[in-house]
């Protein structure tokens, strides 16, 4: 049984981390500092970030003195050189962080009247 998860990246860098297939939530089992506001995780680099940073759109950042800096900025072009733009990540980390993130993105329907 392999410990590797293969993730296909989009052909162009997403406008925000929220649209990237490598975004997840910091697992509850992690050693997250008690008062840390970093709740999201770049699975490809295992770097934590705040929800605001994960949802910030690059197209909305117009101030050249304060450009948007994302964890993958130095790595994205390199990843695009991989065969079929598929990168390998830890399967357990992907499952423990990506699945809960996708669950938070689902619509909930209230049937109570």
Number of separate domains in the chain = 1
Give a yes or no: residue 25 inside a domain. yes
Q: Would you say residue 27 lies in a domain?
A: yes
CB atoms within 10 A of CB 44: 21
Domain of 50? 4-104
Whether the CB-CB separation of 4 and 77 falls below 8 Å is answered with no
pLDDT per residue as tens digits for the range 44-62: 999 999 999 999 998 888 8
Mean pLDDT, all residues of the chain: 89
Q: How far is CA 83 from the centre of its chain?
A: 21
26 — pLDDT class (breaks 50, 70, 90)? very high
């Amino acid at each position: 049984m392999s410990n590797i998860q293969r993730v296909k990246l989009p052909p162009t860098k997403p406008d925000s981390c929220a649209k990237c297939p490598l975004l997840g939530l910091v697992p509850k089992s992690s050693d997250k500092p008690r008062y840390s506001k970093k709740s999201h995780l770049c699975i490809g680099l295992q770097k934590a970030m705040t929800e605001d940073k994960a949802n910030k759109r690059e197209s909305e950042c117009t101030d050249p003195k304060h450009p948007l800096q994302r964890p993958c900025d130095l790595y994205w072009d390199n990843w695009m050189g991989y065969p079929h733009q598929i990168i390998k990540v830890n399967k357990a980390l992907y499952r423990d962080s990506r699945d809960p993130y996708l669950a938070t993105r689902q619509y909930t329907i209230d049937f109570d009247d």
